[in-house]
Amino acid sequence: MTPTPTTVVASDLDRTLIYSTAALGLTMPDAQAPRLLCVEVYEGKPLSYVTETAAGLLAELARTGVFVPTTTRTREQYGRIHLPGPAPKFAVCANGGHLLVDGVSDPDWQATVARRLAAECATLDEVRGHLVRTADPAWLLKERVAEDLFAYLVVERALLPEEWVKELAVWAEERGWTVSLQGRKLYAVPKPLTKSAAVREVARRAGADEILAAGDSLLDADLLLAADRSWRPGHGELADTGFVAAGLTVLPERGIAAGEKIAGAFLSAVRPQ
């Protein structure tokens, strides 16, 4: 008997599948706005949403394929999200720094990541020190380290100088790091720390024949390039740079409507014909 093909569906979360109030992107009259389901609460307040239609699609997807939430969020931040459907067996957090198996970080994967970071890029201390020294208190709101793997700043976006971001990107590139600006957060992430590497490991363990993916930011580019088929919304860093790749579908939808479209595309791709 020929084994049933297995497909891994790896998707970024924030501004790809789930949306904060600020990121909803609803331009229609209030009376025509879709019903929303809250999927994240923080400090007692609703924070992130999907449309009710997307919720149904994601629940079915989780029951049909190997669905892998793939996020730059820390494990703690990811733990606040409650997507519809059964809990995924695998999840990727910290931009590939942690591979969760049934909610627990895999120690072998952690060791693999640590070896790559030690061998291939500048240290977190060096990069963080540069961020703190060069950031201006006029626009810097918070400075954080995530999982002892990468750093990010929370900024006042309207006051953030574009030239400073460009200079930082060049400085980071020379040291094997990537800079990504998403909403009010500016990330500095080691290049060896990738979502695609962790998703390939999931595919190996699951015996998958195909990888589907979606994402909106520069930190998702490697994931989309590694996928057999992928989708990106009409908003975000990748849209701003005109990013294209083999097998990539560029959606015209923006905001939470794009999240619903991506969920539907995933389900159509994995649902038995």
- Domains plus CATH for the chain? 7-114+193-270 (3.40.50.1000), 122-190 (3.90.1070)
Contact between 9 and 212 under an 8 Å Cβ cutoff? The reply is: yes
Q: What integer pLDDT is reported at residue 65 of this predicted model?
A: 85
Q: Angle, nearest 10°, between helix axes 52-64 and 256-270?
A: 30
Average pLDDT, the chain: 95
Q: 253: which residues sit within 8 A by CB, 6+ positions away? A: 233, 234, 260, 261
- The rounded distance, in Å, linking the Cα atoms of 152 and 131 is 9
pLDDT 10s digits, 99-141: 999 999 999 999 999 999 999 999 999 999 999 999 999 999 9
Nearest Cα to Cα of residue 195 among 164, 167, 226: 226
Residue 38 CA to residue 195 CA, distance in Å, equals 25
Give which of 119, 167, 125, 175 is closest to 145, Cα–Cα: 125
pLDDT average, residue stretch 9-37: 91
For 74, the 3-state DSSP assignment is: coil
Has residue 273 got a pLDDT over 90?
no
Give the confidence band of 37 by pLDDT, cuts at 50, 70, 90.
Answer: very high
pLDDT of res. 140: 98
Which of the four pLDDT bands, split at 50, 70 and 90, describes residue 31?
A: confident
Task: Name the pTM for this structure.
Answer: 0.93
Model confidence at 4: pLDDT above 80: no
Angle at 167 between CA 165 and CA 171, to 5 degrees: 115
Quick one: pLDDT at residue 5?
63
Cα distance between residue 177 and residue 166, in whole Å: 13
Q: Find residue 248's DSSP bridge partners.
A: 230
pLDDT band at 25 (very low <50, low <70, confident <90, very high): confident
Is residue 18 scored above 50 in pLDDT? yes
Which has the closest alpha carbon to 68: 40, 99, 112?
A: 99
pLDDT tens digit sequence for 194-220: 999 999 999 999 999 999 999 999 999
Residue 86 has pLDDT above 90, yes or no: yes
In the predicted model, what is the mean pLDDT of residues 94-102? 98
Closest CA to 98 of 79, 122, 71, 117: 71
